[in-house]
Amino acid sequence: MGLIKAIDNFDTTLNVQFSTYAVPMIIGEIRRYLRDNNMVRVSRSVRDLAYKVIQYREKAIKENQKEPTIDEIAKALEVEKEDVAFSLDAIQSPVSLQEPVYNDGSDSIYIMDQISDTKNTEDGWAENLTISEAMKKLNPREKMIITKRFFDGRTQMEVAEEIGISQAQVSRLEKSAIDRIRKMYQ
């Protein structure tokens, strides 16, 4: 589309090469297509602000040899710092919770394993479920990991730091405990 628009609108009376005129038109059409056909619709004004922020950031890094702060960017672009942060977040591509972030050949760790569950943190929640009986049959370490992960809403990384083992070990122990619980109910 950019090439067709460049051909249709190119003025041969001006002393400018066609490529000088066509390249920005083609790039503009590609950007417009990517902006308008993304998985998540982001308003044009937010996306435009994000691109201005990125351009300013790159320029500031070249000139000052350091990363500008959000406050500096907001001041330079005369916008609120919240708008700067929001615009940058808005142009990030979405990721699946099932996306692996680590794989050691046998076990994978997924984004979902890194997210805290703040909804299921009430005291006594486990006692109201039939799973509490299965929890009693787990060894103390498995019980602690399952409790911290699913009832306290902690991530595997947080649990690993608390009990002094690696995240991969937490993942393996968690998987083993869940498998044992499943077997009890089959």
pLDDT, position 126: 47
CA distance 84 to 75: 10
Domain ranges of the chain: 2-90, 100-184
Contact between residue 124 and residue 152 where contact means Cβ atoms under 8 Å apart: no
Structure tokens at 51: 């691109």
pLDDT, position 39: 65
Of 24, 26, 65, 73, nearest to 49 (Cα)?
73
pLDDT in tens, 21-72: 899 999 888 888 876 776 667 778 888 999 999 999 999 999 988 889 999 9
CA distance 2 to 26: 4
pLDDT, position 125: 53
Amino acid at 122: E
Task: Say which residue the tokens 């405990």 belong to.
Answer: 177
Residues 71-80 as b/e (b if ≥16 CB within 10 A, e otherwise) read: ebbbebbeee
CA distance 74 to 82: 8
Per-residue pLDDT tens, the chain, 186 aa: give them.
889 988 998 888 888 899 888 999 998 888 888 767 766 677 788 889 999 999 999 999 999 888 899 999 999 999 998 999 888 888 777 777 778 877 777 777 887 777 766 655 555 554 555 677 778 888 899 889 988 888 888 888 889 999 999 988 989 998 888 888 888 776
* Whole-Å CA distances, 86 to 67, 97, 141: 18, 21, 41
Pick the CATH number of 100-184 from 1.10.10.10, 3.40.50.300, 3.30.300.30, 1.10.3470.10: 1.10.10.10
With residue 144 as reference, give the H or E element that holds it.
Answer: helix 140-146
Q: Supply the DSSP string of 26-93, one letter for each residue.
A: HHHHHHHHHHHTSSS---HHHHHHHHHHHHHHHHHHHHHSSPPPHHHHHHHHTS-HHHHHHHHHHTSP
